[in-house]
Structure 1
Amino acid sequence: MSKDDDVVQSNKPAGGWGSLKGIASISVEASASPTALDTLRRMNKPGGFMCNSCAWPKPKNYSAFEFCENGAKAVLWELTTDRCTPEFWDRHTVHGLRSWTDHELEKTGRLTHPLRYNAEHDRYEAVGWADAFNDIATELNALEPESAVFYSSGHAGLEASYLYALMARLYGNNNLPQSSNMCHETTSVGLKKVIGSPVGTIVWEDLEEADAFFFFGQNPGTNSPRFLHPLKDAKKRGASIVTFNPIIEQGLVAFVDPQSARDMATGRETKISDQYHQLSSGGDVAAIMGICKHVIEADQAAQRNGEERIIDVAFIEKHTQGFDRFLASVEAAAWEDIEAGSGLTRVALKEAADTYMAAERVIGVYGMGLTQHTHGSVNIGLLVNLLMLRGNIGRPGAGVCPVRGHSNVQGQRTVGIAEKADLVPMDKLRELFDFDPPTEDGVNIVEMVEGLLAGTVKASICLGGNLLRAVPDQHRMEDTWTRQNLTVMISTKLNRSHLYPGKNAYILPCLGRAEVDEQATGPQAISTEDSFSMISGSTGRRSPASEHLKSELAIVAGIAKALLPPNPKVKWDEWTADYSQVRDLIEQTYPDDFRDFNQRLFEPGGFYRGIGAHERIWNTPEKHALFTTPEKLTSLGFDPGPGRYSLLTMRSNDQFNTTVYGYSDRFHGIEGTRDVLLMHPDDIERAGFEKGDVVQLITDLDDGVDRRLGGLVVTPYRIPPGTVASYYPECNVLVPVTHHDELSKTPGSKSVPVRIERERA
Structure 2
Amino acid sequence: MKRSELDPEDIVIKEYNSPTGGWGSLKSLIKKAEENGQLASDIWAMLGEQNKPDGFMCVSCSWAKPREPSSFEFCENGAKATIWEHDPKRADPDFFARHTVTELRDWNDHDLEKTGRLSAPMKYNPDCDKYEPIDWNVAFREIAAELNRLNPDDVIFYASGRASLEASHMYQLFARIYGSNNLPDSSNMCHESTSVGLPKSIGSPVGTVQLEDFAKCDMIFFIGHNVGVNAPRMLHPLQEARKRGVPLVAFNPLPERGLVRFKNPQSPTEMLSPGPGTEMSSDFLQLKSGGDLSVLTGICKHLLVLEDDAQKAGTPAVLDHDFINQHTSGFDEFCAFLRAANWDEIVKRSGIERAEIERIAALYASKERVIANYGMGLTQHREGVENVQMLCNMLLMRGNIGKEGAGISPVRGHSNVQGQRTVGISEKPELVPLDKLAEFYRFEPPRHKGKDTVEACEGMLNGTVKGFIGLGGNFSRAVPETALVEKAWRRMDLHVQIATKLNRNHLLTTRATYLLPCLGRSERDTQVSGDQWVSMEDSTANIHGSFGSRDPASDKLLSEPAIVARLAMATCNDKADVPWQAWVDDYAKVRDAIERTYPDDFKDFNQRFTHPGGFHRNIVACKREWKTDNGKANFITPRNLDTDPDVHANGLDVLTLLTIRSNDQFNTTIYGYDDRLRGIHGTRMVVLLNAQDIARLGLEDGEMVDLVTATTDGIDRRVEGLRVVPYSIPAGNCAGYYPELNPLMPLFHHSRTAHVPAAKSIPVRIEKTLRPTTPVAQ
Report the TM-score range of the alignment, normalised by the length of the smaller protein: over 0.9
Correspondence for 2:57: 50
Contact 2:499 2:517 in 1 (8 A): yes
Equivalent positions of 1:546-695 (< 5 A) are 546-566=554-574, 569-637=577-645, 638-641=647-650, 642-695=652-705
Q: Equivalents in 2 of 1:182, 1:165: separation in Å?
A: 19
Which of the numbers 736, 752, 775 marks the counterpart of 1:742?
Answer: 752
Deviates more, 1:736-745 or 1:19-28: 19-28
Q: Does residue 167 in structure 1 map to residue 174 in structure 2?
A: yes
Contact 1:35 1:542 in 2 (8 A): no
Name the amino acid aligned to 1:538. S
Q: Equivalents in 1 of 2:752, 2:621: separation in Å?
A: 24
Q: Please state how far the C-alpha of 1:193 moved relative to its aligned partner.
A: 1.6
Q: Equivalents in 1 of 2:576, 2:441: separation in Å?
A: 8
Name the amino acid aligned to 1:519. Q
* Partner SS for 1:64: coil
Root-mean-square deviation over aligned CA pairs: 1.2
Q: Please state how far the C-alpha of 1:32 moved relative to its aligned partner.
A: 3.5
Contact 2:13 2:681 in 1 (8 A): no
Correspondence for 1:308: 316
Contact 1:184 1:746 in 2 (8 A): yes
CA-to-aligned-CA distance 1:271-313 (integer Å, 9 cap, x gap): 1100001100100011111111121111111111121110111
Gaps of 5+ in 2: 1-11, 772-778
Q: Does residue 266 in structure 1 map to residue 276 in structure 2?
A: no
Correspondence for 1:234: 241
Correspondence for 1:352: 360
Q: Please state how far the C-alpha of 1:211 moved relative to its aligned partner.
A: 0.5
Correspondence for 1:210: 217
Name the amino acid aligned to 1:663. Y
* Partner SS for 1:90: helix
Correspondence for 1:3: none
Name the amino acid aligned to 1:10. Y
Q: Equivalents in 2 of 1:57, 1:462: separation in Å?
A: 26
Q: Please state how far the C-alpha of 1:7 moved relative to its aligned partner.
A: 9.5
Q: Does residue 282 in structure 1 map to residue 287 in structure 2?
A: no
Q: Equivalents in 2 of 1:536, 1:615: separation in Å?
A: 22
Aligned length: 756
Contact 1:699 1:708 in 2 (8 A): yes
Equivalent positions of 1:286-685 (< 5 A) are 286-566=294-574, 569-637=577-645, 638-641=647-650, 642-685=652-695
Q: Cα gap change, 1:639/1:631 in structure 2, threshold over 3 Å: closer, same or farther?
A: farther
Q: Does residue 224 in structure 1 map to residue 235 in structure 2?
A: no
Name the amino acid aligned to 1:9. E
Correspondence for 1:179: 186
Correspondence for 1:119: 126
Contact 2:442 2:576 in 1 (8 A): no
Q: Does residue 711 in structure 1 map to residue 721 in structure 2?
A: yes
Name the amino acid aligned to 1:104. D
Equivalent positions of 1:241-256 (< 5 A) are 241-256=248-263
Q: Equivalents in 1 of 2:36, 2:287: separation in Å?
A: 38
Q: Does residue 758 in structure 1 map to residue 768 in structure 2?
A: yes
Q: Equivalents in 2 of 1:7, 1:643: separation in Å?
A: 26
Which of the numbers 27, 40, 56 marks the counterpart of 2:33?
Answer: 27
Correspondence for 2:199: 192
Name the amino acid aligned to 1:517. D
Equivalent positions of 1:60-79 (< 5 A) are 60-79=67-86
Contact 2:177 2:575 in 1 (8 A): no
Q: Please state how far the C-alpha of 1:568 moved relative to its aligned partner.
A: 7.2
Gaps of 5+ in 1: 1-5
* Partner SS for 2:485: helix
Q: Please state how far the C-alpha of 1:613 moved relative to its aligned partner.
A: 1.0
* Partner SS for 1:450: helix
* Partner SS for 1:352: helix
Contact 1:9 1:718 in 2 (8 A): no
CA-to-aligned-CA distance 1:711-746 (integer Å, 9 cap, x gap): 001111110000000000011101111000011000
Q: Please state how far the C-alpha of 1:567 moved relative to its aligned partner.
A: 5.7
Q: Equivalents in 2 of 1:373, 1:300: separation in Å?
A: 33
Correspondence for 1:701: 711
Name the amino acid aligned to 1:23. L
CA-to-aligned-CA distance 1:443-502 (integer Å, 9 cap, x gap): 000000001111010000000001111011000001111111000011101100011111
Name the amino acid aligned to 2:765. R
Correspondence for 1:722: 732
Name the amino acid aligned to 1:425. P
Which of the numbers 95, 99, 119 marks the counterpart of 2:102?
Answer: 95
Q: Does residue 109 in structure 1 map to residue 108 in structure 2?
A: no
Contact 2:177 2:576 in 1 (8 A): no
Q: Equivalents in 2 of 1:427, 1:628: separation in Å?
A: 32
Q: Equivalents in 2 of 1:7, 1:114: separation in Å?
A: 42
Q: Equivalents in 1 of 2:216, 2:67: separation in Å?
A: 16
Q: Equivalents in 1 of 2:723, 2:96: separation in Å?
A: 35
Q: Please state how far the C-alpha of 1:8 moved relative to its aligned partner.
A: 5.7
* Partner SS for 1:87: helix
Q: Please state how far the C-alpha of 1:260 moved relative to its aligned partner.
A: 1.4
* Partner SS for 1:725: strand
Q: Equivalents in 1 of 2:619, 2:609: separation in Å?
A: 19
Q: Equivalents in 1 of 2:380, 2:15: separation in Å?
A: 25
Q: Equivalents in 2 of 1:89, 1:695: separation in Å?
A: 36
Q: Equivalents in 2 of 1:634, 1:308: separation in Å?
A: 34
